[in-house]
Each structure stands twice: as C-alpha cells, then as structure tokens.
Structure 1
C-alpha cells in the first residue's frame, strides 16, 4: 500500500507539473510531490524494480542521441572531460571546506556529503566509521533535490533550452522498443554484477546507442513511456526524504544550500571556460558539469533538449572518476584526523 500511495503521489505531481508546463516536468513534479510529503512525515517507498524500469526508459531515451558521426567530436569530448575532472575535484573540495569550516562537520563526513551522485558508496563508507551516515544522507538527498528543482528552472528562465535529441520527432515502434528493453535489462544485469554505476540506465543507453549508431533504430520511446519513466525516477528520489527525520533535515538545510551553491558556482565557471573554447552551448555544458546524481542530471539534460549523449557521458564519467578518487580522499582525511587527534593528546 505504501508503494501504491507513493506512485499515486508521484504521478499526481507529474500531472500538475505538466499542466503548469514546467521544465523537466515529469521528473520535477514527481520528485517535489513525494519529497514534500516525505518531509511532512509520510512513509513513502518506491520498489527498486519500479525505479529500475524508470532508469531503463531514461537510458533508452538517452541512447537516441548517439550517431555514427560522433567520432568526429572525440577531440571536443576529450577536452571537455579533462576540464570536468578538474571541476569535480575543486567543487568537491570547495563544498567540503564550507561544510567543515562553517558547519563543523568532520572532513571525512563533509567529503562523503560533497561527492555528487555517489550516495550508495558514500553511505557504505560512512557505515564503516568514516563519516556520519545521517548527515551524509541528508546532505546528499537535499543536494539532489535542490539541483533537480532549480537547475531546469534556471536554464529555462535564461531561455537556454536545446534543440532536442536526434530523432526527437520520430517514435520507436513497440516491437523494436521491446527488443531494446530486453537487451537493456540483460546488459543491466551484467553491469550490476560488476558494480557499475546506474546499471539499468547504462544498460538501456548502451543498447539504444548501438542500435542508433548502426542505424537499426531511429527515434525516442513513445512520449507516455518517457513520462512514466521520468515520474518513476522522480518519485523514487523524492521518497528518500520519508526516511530522514525532520530535525535532521532542518539542521542540515543551511549547509546543503551553501555547499550546493558553491559547488554549482565552481561547475558553472568551468562550464563557461569549456563553452568559450569549444563553442558548445553554455547551458548544455553546465548541465553536463552540474554536481548532481547521474540519473537526475542526465534526465534533465534530455528533458531540456540538450545533446543527450554529451550530457550522459559526462555524468557517467564523473561518477566513475569519483568511485576511484573518493575512497582515496576520505582515507587521507581520516588518517589526517587521527594524526591530529593523537598530537592533541
């Protein structure tokens, strides 16, 4: 019953957002509706299988942006990814600094809370005693909600929406869509065994990308399928707040606002440099650099009409890089903290 209630709330929020013509309406509406109810104390829950369906749909949609001539853009992609790497480190360190300096969190807790899109890894490391789990989940969840809520509104307000994905006016047939979905699920299960990030999104994207590059497929899933997929992911993201006590949310909201704003500013500055050098649209690069979860940011890029391949690849690269460097940064912070504690005895 809780899952049914959560889905009803999510789809209702999607309907309201679509009626108001909000940017990224299905994702934003479902996320805000469930987050608001969860914040009010309601028990909400979206089963993993429903969230995975949503991620698979988003992945299949993102894959439509891959084309055979993308190899010509390899140089641009390499330059952009190199600047993204620097942006990731600096934005994470800036966010960590402000949380440790003004909100008195330990450096390791601040690091885990500042690594965008790595909630599962961050919580696992916190559970090992390398940070405070409650603070990490509060700050990570609020980061996702704030970026998902304000980024599309800001981009839309600035009039910077993209032209849409390749084949955006073409709809995949149901038979072909079913074949791609089956292939995406198979790949997702393989990726999950290797602990790759967002396996269902990645599986759907890879299958769809290969089909579009080889010109076996052309176009997006039907609109209603995309709406349902976005709504499922939005509802699952917003439902996280039902597991967080209101006192913990209110205690951490100031730190979340400050750290997200600082990280977003750093990413915006790097996006400006990348856009100036490569002539890529600034808003597209900013969405690709934004320090949010891979699922939400890739979905927002798709919903706003930006190049889905560009946005998705950058966020998947960011998550992969963080999986490698975050344990190193946290281990260094913990060792330094222990050394300082020993010296003060």
Structure 2
C-alpha cells in the first residue's frame, strides 16, 4: 500500500528534478521553476500519475517566502519611501486587471459576474477556490481559467522579462544563511503558515515565510540569503506543484475553454503591462523587475519567478505582499456586489 502511495510522488519528483536540471543547465530564465513545471505537466498530460502532497507543497512555498524576506535589510525604511509610488500603481493595477478580465469574460463568453471575477483574480488562487467552494460562481471555469493563466504566466514571464533587457543573467552573489537559522526560520514559518491556512489566509505559507524572514532580517537578527541548493529545491518543488495543477482540471476542460483562456491571458497581461510601463517611467525602476511584480499570475509562482531571475528580493517581496493585501480587500467585496 505504501509503495502504491509513494510511487506517484517519486515519479513526480524525478520528472521535476530532470526538467529543472536540464533548463538550468542550458541557462533558461527561471530554469528550475519552468523546467519542473513543464516536465510534470507533460507527464500529467501523458496520463502518468503525478502528485505533490499538500504539506510538501506548503514547505516549498515557505522556502520561497523565507528567501524573499531574506532580501530585506535594516535599511528597508529608505526603500519604502522610494517604492511608495510603485506600490500605489500596483494597487490600481490589481483592480484594473481584475475588472478588465471580468468584463471580457462576461461580454464575450457569457460568464456570470461572480464566475468572471473569480476566474480573473490575479493571485491568491487558494482564496479564489475557497470562495467558489462556498457557492460563488461556477467551479469548473474558475479552476480551468485560473490554471491556464497561471501556467501561461510562469512560461511567458521570464522570457518576456529578459526581452526588456533588464533581467540579470546571474543573480548577484550573496552570503548564504547558516543552516541553524535557516532551519529555525523554515520550521517556525511552516507552522505559522499551517495555522494561517486554518483561518483561510491566502498564500499562508509563503506569507508566513516572507513576513517572518523580513522581520528578522530587517532587525539584523539574521543575515544572509537562502543557500543556492535550498533555493533550487524550492523552485523545483514549486514548479512540480504548478505542473500537477493540470491534473486537477484535465486536458478536455482546457481545450473547451482555450479561446476564453487565451483572450483572458492577453487582456490581463496587456493591462498589467500598461501599469508596469507607467510605473517604470515614473520611478525609473527597471521595467522587467516592475512587470514581474505586477504580472497577474499566482502570488507564489510570480514571487518565485522574480526571485529566480535575480531581481531585488525586497522589492519583489513587498509588492507581492501588497498584492495579497489588495486582493484580500477587493475580491470579497467585488464578489458580494456581483452576487
């Protein structure tokens, strides 16, 4: 029985590691994340049983959060003032992306208001699914369109960022954290994330790792970045999780909604890019870095993409935290009004 249970996990990890290693070796942007996602999604499409247990998924998201928070330093205060305009643009971008996608899905494809809003929500997928389970909107189109947009963003974001000419080929070298503080951070953040899930906090494990790591690094209690080997494993596991999402919706459902999904991806990408471009022009920040922070994908996935491309982890962390807060405020209100 145990061998039967472990076999899908073992195959999933094997495919993920092979995909991650291959794309990393050829220097593909965000190679570990995308390689693992493609390999596992391909295996799922070929009807191989793939699975990542929820607790292992949570550990991967916790590691990404801890790594993001490690970019915060005691001088974070001076960054906050410089990034305030960018954060303001982000909040408007999230709302504009949400409503632009919802209008398109309603008018072009006839979805209800609730379904269109939840299918478009740019991040916090767990929160969206929880709202759908409670009876808001239709579960299948929400799930399918969310997964399609998530996988498309993970595949498209790194090459697009590289085209903008500001994505560093190699992340700047940083002294890695020692194992003792790293282990303690992961353990405490993991437990806090599990507790947060019980209160239906979106992206709870990533958020717990991000906040805890930011606090201790900002206070100077811990220094150093996530070791490269741990980061590689975190990206690989996160990519594997994204790849397994294909099994939750099925190829048939994706084919049926391909047109709606394609239009939604184009509209939400274009909307977020307009705001990212305006922000980059107004703040003189690198366009690629701003766009990754604004990109309308899942919070965990986009945070991992930004981190793997070597962008400023403090900037990426702060903006994805702001995106979670914005969605927590806007989405339930919008869903209630739509109902």
Give the TM-score, by structure 2 length: 0.92
Answer yes or no: is 1:5 the counterpart of 2:14: no
- Give the 3-state SS of the residue equivalent to 1:287 in structure 2: helix
2:4 maps to which residue?
A: none
List aligned pairs for 1:32-181, cutoff 5 A.
32-162=38-168, 168-181=173-186
Please list every run of 5 or more consecutive structure 2 residues that lacks an aligned counterpart in the other structure.
1-6
Q: Give the 3 Å change call, closer, same or farther, for CA 23–130 of structure 1 in structure 2.
A: same
Contact kept in structure 2, 1:164 and 1:306, CA below 8 Å: no
Going from structure 1 to structure 2, the CA distance change for 1:121 and 1:56 (only over 3 Å counts) comes to closer
Label 1:318 to 1:235 Cα distance change in 2 as closer, same or farther (>3 A). Answer: same
* Alpha carbons of structure 1 residues 129 and 53: separation in structure 2 relative to 1, 3 Å: closer
Residue in structure 1 matched with residue 22 of structure 2 by the alignment: 16
Residue aligned with 1:130, SS: coil
Shift of 1:193: 4.3
CA RMSD of aligned residues (A): 1.9
Please state how far the C-alpha of 1:194 moved relative to its aligned partner: 3.8
Contact 1:39–1:246 (8 Å) recurs in 2 = yes
Task: Name 1:313's counterpart in structure 2.
Answer: 318
* Structural mapping, 1:218-297, within 5 Å: 218-297=223-302
State the 1:261 CA deviation: 1.4
Distance in 2 separating the partners of 1:308 and 1:152: 16
Q: How many residues align?
A: 333
2:336 corresponds in structure 1 to 331
Q: Give the SS at the match of 1:65.
A: coil
In the alignment, is the contact (CA less than 8 A) between 2:8 and 2:51 conserved in 1?
yes
Q: CA deviation at 1:232?
A: 0.7
Deviates more, 1:134-143 or 1:49-58: 49-58
Q: CA deviation at 1:145?
A: 0.4
Bigger Cα displacement from structure 2, 294-303 vs 320-329 = 320-329
Verify the 8 A CA contact 2:59 2:190 in the aligned structure 1.
no
Deviation at 1:110, TM superposition (A): 1.2
Give the drift of 1:141.
0.5
Distance change in 2, residues 1:56/1:125 (3 Å): closer
Unaligned runs of 5+ in 1: 335-345
How many angstroms does 1:162 deviate by? 4.1
- Alpha carbons of 1:206 and 1:289: their partners in 2 closer, same or farther (altered >3 Å)? same
Structure 1 stretch displaced more, 121-130 or 10-19: 121-130
Separation in 2 of the partners of 1:190 and 1:158?
A: 40
Maintained 8 Å contact 2:161/2:289 = no
How many Å separate the matches in 2 of 1:113 and 1:127?
13
Q: CA deviation at 1:204?
A: 2.0
Q: In structure 2, what is the Cα distance between the partners aligned to 1:59 and 1:285?
A: 19
With structure 1 as the length reference, what TM-score do the two structures score? 0.90
> Helix, strand or coil: the match of 2:97?
helix
Deviation of 1:303 (Å): 0.9
Cα offset, 1:218, TM superposition: 2.5
